[in-house]
Chain A
Amino acid sequence: MVETKKINRAAAKRKQEIKYPITWAAIKRQRQLIYMSVPLLAYIILFAYVPVWGWTMAFQDFKPNLAFAQQTWVGFKHFVFLFTDDNFLRVLRNTLGMSIINLVLGFVTAIGLALLLNEIKNMYWKRTVQTVSYLPHFLSWIIVTGIVATSLASDGIVNDVLMWLGLINEPIVWLSEGKYFWGVVGASHVWKEVGWNTIIYLAAMSSIDPSLYEAADIDGANRYQKMRFVTIPGIKATIIILLIMSVGHLLEAGFEVQYLLGNGLVVDWSETIDIFVLKYGIAQGNYSLATAGGIFKTVVSITLLLGANWIAKRMGEERLL
């Protein structure tokens, strides 16, 4: 895969050597292409770039009914407040905690399942398992959290099974205790996405040269040695690209699951930065503070993404950007 990519890149480079300078004649000649793309450029600038102007709110005591020139500028006041606010630090801890759990669980389960699926020789059975395991990915978080809440209820299936197995004597109220919340969120993510996340690894596995396995057979490697020394190195590039992307999303522990599963009893463990922003911004009207929280998240995410990309580059690995 890496080989073909290199060839593609070389081919692309050769084609790019022809320069197409921006001249009036060229603009006139390509006006149809311009009509087709420039309105869309204006659209994306309006919807993705113009709102960045709103970041100025974080440096003001923003009041929605005043004009821009009338706002009071306060410098980094809101950022200073954030980092001395116990609420924000708690929310930050929850965000990091849950996203690290999701990241580790997500990677381990998806790679593990992909390795096991890869060992299934019966194609029909493999397809059936895949079809079923992809399915929850297409359900909304509303539906999934509804299913999770029903399953974890005191008379739900999880408690039923655990009691039947004799692991617990009385039902656990999973959703009412803070100590279970991160685990519940992690497990919900695994339930919803594990099958879907195997697709990319299975695709990488199918592009591993079969002669590598034949050579390993001749050397007397067993199943697990082949996994360890052929399959996993074969999907290493994919794993690293996905890891870089996940690191960039470290502060995006999600919003929907926590918002939908959270309740008054577990609020200390369930609220993430996004919920903090929603609560302060939309519900309480403290737009400046909420925007400051949002900016913090974006800036850290981009820094992490660039950092992970840089480390991957230094290690001579495949990289994203």
Chain B
Amino acid sequence: MSAKKTSLSAVSASATVQNKSGINRIEPILFNTFNTLFMVILVVVTLYPFLNTIVVSFNAGNDTIRGGLYLWPREWTLQNYRAVFVSGTIYDAFWVSVARTVLATLLNLFLTTMLAYTLSRREYIFRKQITLVFVLTMYFNAGLIPGYFLMKDLHLLNSFWVYVIPSMISAFNMIVIRTYIGTIPESLVESARIDGAGEFKIFWSIIFPLCKPVLATIALFVAVGSWNSWFDAFLYTSSRQELSTLQYELMKLLSSSMNANSNPAVANGGGVTQDTVSSMVTPISIRAAVTIVASVPILVVYPFMQKYFVVGLNVGSVKE
């Protein structure tokens, strides 16, 4: 933050130089220098914590406690990752996370696009009513407690399906897809209808494949949302360890080491028990390894999706 402030004031300082002396040649050089410098600081501030976490995850745990670890591991080890994947709970949680993400994404794309298709048909008699019912859900929320009782009444507590079923359709995504379907030429649908195709057939074999660009964006958002959520595991399935997700396991690790962090005496190494010091693996290094495991799937997919999501966001920007 302070970095940003200083470079902004530097920018305005360069403005006054230019206004006073009226030299138009110096200003662009000054501005571009400061702008580039600012962007470099931004990139560093964004990437550094991440790189540092990678370093910690590859460094021997008992060495990390000594501090002073920045951009290169002092004692290389794969022990932290081995501990993560050997320890049954985190390994199981990883696969629960994968399963919920894949299922949620597939169901979301299929159901949301199907709904968006029916609501894009101008001749559909219930179009306005159904659209209204969905759009209103963007503006209110029954809240935590009533939602909890609904899950209880539906017997979704301590069930895997609580990760998937309550969030199968989002009104916002539906509107984004519907807007996109609106740009597909009507003649395609009409010619299929003349050939005798029913509505489902038109949706499945014509509309769905043509929506690929917008569906790529939605898939990314849904998948990231599902992969990253921990609150449902915390609230609905916390009494069944085998249903725990990777993020929830990470949250548990975080809250145990957070207490160590916020206490200065412990953070200096004093609070770590003899037991963990003697071993190679410490809670902090395990946490770093789990953090990397939890973010790698996103980091792998994200660059490929970037060209799509800018388009998708703009389609939806009008009515968020």
Identify the A interface with B (CB < 8 A). Answer: 5, 15-16, 18, 20-23, 26-27, 30, 32-38, 40-41, 43-55, 57, 64, 109, 112-113, 116-117, 119-120, 125, 128-129, 131-136, 138-143, 145-147, 149-155, 157, 171, 173, 175-176, 187, 190-191, 195, 199-200, 203, 222-224, 238, 241, 245, 248, 255-256, 260-261, 263, 265, 274, 277-278, 281-282, 287, 290-291, 294-295, 297-298, 301-302, 305, 320
User: Nearest chain B CB to A144's CB is how many angstroms away?
Assistant: 9
Q: Is the CB of A199 within 8 A of B320?
A: no
Q: How far is the CA of A207 from the CA of B137 in the complex (A)?
A: 31
Q: How far is the CA of A131 from the CA of B42 in the complex (A)?
A: 12
A200 to B, closest residue via Cβ: B317
Q: Is the CB of A155 within 8 A of B145?
A: no
Q: Is B62 an interface residue (CB 8 A)?
A: no
Q: How far is the CA of A16 from the CA of B131 in the complex (A)?
A: 14
Q: Is the CB of B46 within 8 A of A195?
A: yes
Q: For residue A120, which residues in chain B have a CB less than 8 angstroms away from its CB?
A: 35, 39
Q: How far is the CA of A146 from the CA of B39 in the complex (A)?
A: 24
Q: Is B298 an interface residue (CB 8 A)?
A: yes
Q: For residue B254, which residues in chain A have a CB less than 8 angstroms away from its CB?
A: 142, 145-146, 149, 260
Selected from B203, B255, B319, the residue in CB contact (under 8 A) with A260 is: B255
Name 19 interchain pairs, CB-CB below 8 A, sorted by A.
A27-B125, A36-B118, A38-B130, A43-B169, A44-B171, A46-B150, A51-B143, A55-B146, A142-B247, A142-B250, A149-B261, A175-B261, A200-B317, A223-B27, A256-B231, A282-B145, A287-B149, A298-B140, A302-B139
B202 to A, closest residue via Cβ: A32
Please give 5 more A-B residue pairs, beta carbons under 8 A apart, in addition to A22-B125, A129-B43, A134-B306: A20-B125, A36-B115, A131-B306, A140-B229, A200-B314
Q: Is the CB of A48 within 8 A of B142?
A: yes
Q: Is the CB of B53 within 8 A of A138?
A: no
User: Nearest chain B CB to A167's CB is how many angstroms away?
Assistant: 8
User: Nearest chain A CB to B303's CB is how many angstroms away?
Assistant: 7
User: Nearest chain A CB to B39's CB is how many angstroms away?
Assistant: 5
Q: How far is the CA of A152 from the CA of B42 in the complex (A)?
A: 18
Q: Is the CB of B137 within 8 A of A37?
A: no
Selected from A40, A44, A52, A191, the residue in CB contact (under 8 A) with B146 is: A52
Selected from A16, A50, A138, A143, the residue in CB contact (under 8 A) with B150 is: A50
Q: How far is the CA of A22 from the CA of B53 in the complex (A)?
A: 60
Main secondary structure of the interface of A (DSSP, over half): helix
Selected from A38, A287, A305, the residue in CB contact (under 8 A) with B145 is: A287
Q: Is the CB of B268 within 8 A of A135?
A: no
Selected from A109, A195, A290, the residue in CB contact (under 8 A) with B4 is: A109
Q: For residue A203, which residues in chain B have a CB less than 8 angstroms away from its CB?
A: 310, 313-314, 317
Q: For residue B306, which residues in chain A have a CB less than 8 angstroms away from its CB?
A: 131, 134
Q: How far is the CA of A131 from the CA of B302 in the complex (A)?
A: 9
Report the interface size for chain B: residues with CB under 8 A from the other chain: 101
Q: For residue B117, which residues in chain A have a CB less than 8 angstroms away from its CB?
A: 36
Shortest 5 CB-CB contacts between residues of A and residues of B: A54-B146, A294-B143, A140-B228, A51-B142, A32-B199
User: Nearest chain B CB to A47's CB is how many angstroms away?
Assistant: 6
Selected from A40, A46, A295, the residue in CB contact (under 8 A) with B111 is: A40
Selected from B125, B250, B298, B318, the residue in CB contact (under 8 A) with A146 is: B250
Given the known inter-chain contacts A265-B262, A281-B144, please indicate yes or no for A54 contacting B126, CB distance below 8 A.
no
Q: Is the CB of A30 within 8 A of B143?
A: no
User: Nearest chain B CB to A164's CB is how many angstroms away?
Assistant: 12
Q: Is B98 an interface residue (CB 8 A)?
A: no
Q: Is B96 an interface residue (CB 8 A)?
A: no
Given the known inter-chain contacts A145-B254, A256-B231, please indicate yes or no for A245 contacting B130, CB distance below 8 A.
no
Q: Is the CB of B261 within 8 A of A47?
A: no
Q: Is the CB of A297 within 8 A of B124?
A: no
Q: For residue A49, which residues in chain B have a CB less than 8 angstroms away from its CB?
A: 133, 137, 142
Selected from A21, A132, A145, A190, the residue in CB contact (under 8 A) with B47 is: A132
Q: Is the CB of A298 within 8 A of B35?
A: no
Q: Is B15 an interface residue (CB 8 A)?
A: yes
Q: Is B31 an interface residue (CB 8 A)?
A: yes
Q: How far is the CA of A148 from the CA of B90 in the complex (A)?
A: 22
Q: Is the CB of A140 within 8 A of B247?
A: yes
Q: For residue A5, which residues in chain B have a CB less than 8 angstroms away from its CB?
A: 318
B48 to A, closest residue via Cβ: A157
Q: For residue B35, which residues in chain A have a CB less than 8 angstroms away from its CB?
A: 116, 119-120
Selected from B47, B139, B166, B314, the residue in CB contact (under 8 A) with A305 is: B139
Q: Is the CB of B262 within 8 A of A260?
A: no
Q: Is B294 an interface residue (CB 8 A)?
A: yes
B111 to A, closest residue via Cβ: A40
A177 to B, closest residue via Cβ: B262
Q: For residue B319, which residues in chain A have a CB less than 8 angstroms away from its CB?
A: 320
